Structure 1
Amino acid sequence: MKGKGSIRKLLDLAAIILAVAMVAFVVGVLVYRAGLRSSAGENYRIAFVSEWEGDPEIYMMDLHGEHLQRLTDEPGQESYPTWSPDGRQLAYLHLGDNNGDGKITLEDGMLLRIVDLGSGKRRTLARFSGLAFALHWAPQGDRLLLGLVEDTDGDGKLEPGADHGVLRVISVESGQAVILTSDAVPFYQVSWSPDAEQVAFAAGPQPFTLCTISSHGGQPQRLIEKVGLALAWAPDGQRITYARTSPMGTELVTIPAEPDPEATPAPTSLTDKPLPAYIIAHIVWSPQGDKVAYVAGGSQGPKDVFILDIAQGTVAELSSHINGDVGGISPTWSPDGRYLAFSAQEGDENSMSDIYVATVGGGVNRLRVGTGDSYLPAWRP
């Protein structure tokens, strides 16, 4: 009997030890996962514009929609946040009552501002008339590329074709600008070359022409005609990607950035077959150069976000993970290429716009901030 009692005590002790070990294991797993989530959130930051507290202001959050931080707080409208390559500064555009007459009009002009996230100090770099459509920091960090439409005919309206589309390269240190183009043509998406020595853009009127120009000024070089407005310079610097439209549909193609002047340009298709009756609105290469995100849809109605895997030749439709119609805007890659952020409306055109984060090869999460529209996301390097 005594032996049986000892055995029972040993079994009870073993059960207790096992239970404690299991609890420790579960707690350890939870702590580890929480640590991964925390570290992932801490290492990823997204700047974006939101109207949830009234006027459009710029905020920052992590990829889980947590650690929300307001970066601007001033009357008016903030837009087009873009990061310096080192992630220490954020440039943006401010439209406000810059004339002090109590109204916000085209005559107020737009202010190009930079905020230092370490010190919180901000400065106004330049002031421009017109309405901006693009703002990109140069890969080397010394200049900014600004695209805008100016009211050149003085009628108080901004009309492509009647008014000038202007590209300016602005010194971050001095604010001095070099005007690259001043033609009465529409622009949509513009792109730095990886070495920041050139800028690619599409010029109209239709059919549009893909052009490059030195970022220090000069005459544009016409590469190829009959292109769409969306384009992007590939990370290798050797190619430019654009949308080509034909009676069969639209497809993503690349062309050498420095074509042989003696030969006819020979575009290379990135897709197996054209997308029927699709318009491609944005093209964004991943930093690693292995994937391309783009926004496509019909001429009317919502547009969806896609990711093309270059090596596999496969296309993932991100909006298939989201209920309702989605109009994808401004896709932007995380620095490591693991995530893609974009803004979209879930439902009709009157629905609220939110920021979404897609995991490559995984699902899509909506990051709702308050009750106002959120858009124009930009990953911090």
Structure 2
Amino acid sequence: MKKLILFVCALLATSLAAAQFRVEVTGVGLTQVPIAIAQFKAEEGSPQKVSAVVQADLERSGQFRGSSPVAGTWDEAARMDLAAWRQKGSDAAVVGSITKLADGRFDVRFRLWDLAKGQDLGGQSHVVVAADLRLAAHRIADYVYEKITGDKGVFSTRIAYITKSSGLYNLWVADADGENAQSALSSPEPIISPAWSPSGKQLAYVSFESRKPVVYVHEVATGKRRLLANFKGSNSAPAWSPDGRQVAVTLTRDGISQIYLMDANGGEPKRLAQSGSIDTEPVFTADGKTLYFVSDRGGSPQIYRMPVTGGNAERVTFNGTYNISPSLSVDGKYLAYVSRVNGQFKLHVMDLASGVAQAITDTASDESPSFSPNGRLIMYATVQQGKEALMTTTVDGKIKARLAGQFGDIREPDWGPVLK
């Protein structure tokens, strides 16, 4: 997989990815919670195996590992012999039911038990149409994750990525596990750099329909789009401010790639630095006060940061001669990026407090890291076993999940926010 920094907004090669993925989880974490997810009562009559989706979500997070439920039929109202469940090696259990209603919808109910403490941690009911059964399962997994770990779950969020097939480029929007992919845009010209707005209602991206890179904003629900940046030269690498009011873009209107800030509704951009070097790939910190970006001002591509108001830039990466594609965890503790090491492109994570960074993958063609909204996982594209694939990894690299396209390639993933 050829790695190209967006200094000149060159096209990243893309290939076909199917809308359906399978999840393959590998690795072992140090403190995984053993959890039993019993088959929901009457689930065999449902078009979606909700309990299986819940278990896959939780295992992919790296915080849980599946354990065997007690034999029998269980639902949210069942009298639980907690000691018997604990003897099966579980610290938590989820039981539930799926009931088809007269209007064709499904009532999905569940209850979560903390077996270690002997506590009922509550439950919920989700009444959904058949097409939303997977979403109900993701929301159950979110509930379980938050109750057990104290962190927000991200299983009901969405991702975006790019594919190419037979000369047609597609911008896809899918569930966080890669399922239910829907094409938001198809074009015979390249599409690159999708970026979710903080609301999760819009995607900014770069299109080459005008025979040069131009930035558009796409309304996910309606499919409507509007032109954001079409200035002289290249318009690329959009990044939303945390409040959604501004977008940082890379423009060559002044003859060299530089970072500009503009209103999310359009207007005249403001140049943030006056360097004579190439600056690109901006990303905001969660407080909106700082921009991380890539620049060759030191002689090779490295990651820097500077105030959003402009001013002096501070170099962040020092190991290696080629460090690109910054992504920040929401808590500001970690920086994910791609570094070229001995000709291989590997995903690295830096502890920003100490400045210590380490490679967390054993692949050689990693690209486009994107943190989950809770900062616990990183999504990226890579080549594994000869096939290009979308992956997630825990921040320490110990547990990875492959979301494998059935027929081809996946590029430039971006993880959307938790919807309000």
- What is the correspondence of 1:249-264 to structure 2 with a 5 Å cutoff? 250=319
Q: 2:403 aligns with which of 329, 344, 367?
A: 367
Matches of 2:387 and 2:278, distance apart in 1: 28
Aligned to 2:416: 380
Structure 1 unaligned spans of 5+: 1-20, 99-107, 153-162, 228-241, 245-249, 251-276
- What is the correspondence of 1:325-336 to structure 2 with a 5 Å cutoff? 325-336=363-374
Report which stretch shifted further, 73-82 or 206-215: 206-215
Instruction: State the Cα deviation string for residues 174-204 of structure 1 (Å, max 9, x = none).
Output: 4432233465422244333544455455654
Aligned to 2:184: 71
One-letter code aligned to 1:173:
N
Asked if 1:117 corresponds to 2:220, the answer is: yes
Aligned to 1:127: 230
Matches of 2:305 and 2:181, distance apart in 1: 40
Q: Check 1:326–1:204 CA distance in 2 against 1; reply closer, same or farther (3 A cut).
A: closer
Q: 2:329 aligns with which of 280, 283, 286?
A: 286
Structure 2 unaligned spans of 5+: 1-69, 77-93, 98-109, 113-133, 142-153
* Greater relative contact order (Cα < 8 A, sep 6+): 2
Aligned-residue offset at 1:26: 9.7
Q: Check 1:326–1:203 CA distance in 2 against 1; reply closer, same or farther (3 A cut).
A: closer
Aligned-residue offset at 1:341: 0.2
Aligned to 1:319: 361
Q: Check 1:89–1:53 CA distance in 2 against 1; reply closer, same or farther (3 A cut).
A: farther
Instruction: State the Cα deviation string for residues 93-125 of structure 1 (Å, max 9, x = none).
Output: 1111x3xxxxxxxxx333321122233322222
Aligned-residue offset at 1:68: 0.8
Aligned-residue offset at 1:49: 1.2
Decide whether the 8 Å contact of 1:164 with 1:182 is kept in 2: no
Matches of 1:315 and 1:200, distance apart in 2: 16
Aligned to 2:278: 186
Asked if 1:60 corresponds to 2:163, the answer is: no
Aligned-residue offset at 1:128: 2.9
Decide whether the 8 Å contact of 1:329 with 1:376 is kept in 2: yes
Aligned-residue offset at 1:84: 1.2
Matches of 1:164 and 1:30, distance apart in 2: 59
SS at match of 2:401: strand
One-letter code aligned to 1:24:
T
Matches of 1:312 and 1:199, distance apart in 2: 19
Matches of 1:94 and 1:190, distance apart in 2: 18
- What is the correspondence of 1:268-283 to structure 2 with a 5 Å cutoff? 279-283=322-326
Aligned to 1:263: none
Structure with max Cα Rg: 1
Aligned-residue offset at 1:331: 0.9
Matches of 1:205 and 1:312, distance apart in 2: 23
Instruction: State the Cα deviation string for residues 122-172 of structure 1 (Å, max 9, x = none).
Output: 22223134345521011111111111446x7xxxxxxxxxx5112222212
Decide whether the 8 Å contact of 1:52 with 1:371 is kept in 2: no
Supply the RMSD in Å over aligned alpha carbons.
3.6
Q: Check 1:327–1:202 CA distance in 2 against 1; reply closer, same or farther (3 A cut).
A: closer
One-letter code aligned to 1:22:
A
Aligned to 1:212: 306
Matches of 1:285 and 1:211, distance apart in 2: 12
- What is the correspondence of 1:1-381 to structure 2 with a 5 Å cutoff? 22-25=71-74, 36=137, 39-40=140-141, 43-52=156-165, 54-96=167-209, 98=210, 108-132=211-235, 134-149=237-252, 163-181=255-273, 184-196=276-288, 199=291, 201=293, 203-207=295-299, 210=304, 212=306, 214-215=308-309, 221-224=311-314, 227=315, 242-244=316-318, 250=319, 279-298=322-341, 300-308=342-350, 317-320=359-362, 325-346=363-384, 352-360=387-395, 362-381=398-417
One-letter code aligned to 2:199:
D
Q: Check 1:47–1:342 CA distance in 2 against 1; reply closer, same or farther (3 A cut).
A: same
Matches of 1:223 and 1:371, distance apart in 2: 43
Report which stretch shifted further, 116-125 or 333-342: 116-125
One-letter code aligned to 1:306:
H
Decide whether the 8 Å contact of 1:52 with 1:370 is kept in 2: no
Report the count of equivalent residues. Answer: 281
TM-score, length of structure 1 as denominator length = 0.62
Aligned-residue offset at 1:55: 2.7
SS at match of 2:361: helix
Q: Check 1:334–1:358 CA distance in 2 against 1; reply closer, same or farther (3 A cut).
A: same
Aligned to 2:118: none
Matches of 2:352 and 2:259, distance apart in 1: 31
Decide whether the 8 Å contact of 1:89 with 1:116 is kept in 2: yes
Segments of 4+ in structure 1 off by > 6 A? 30-35, 310-316
Q: Check 1:147–1:76 CA distance in 2 against 1; reply closer, same or farther (3 A cut).
A: same
Q: Check 1:301–1:346 CA distance in 2 against 1; reply closer, same or farther (3 A cut).
A: farther
Aligned to 1:10: none
One-letter code aligned to 1:180:
L
Aligned-residue offset at 1:85: 1.0
One-letter code aligned to 1:285:
L
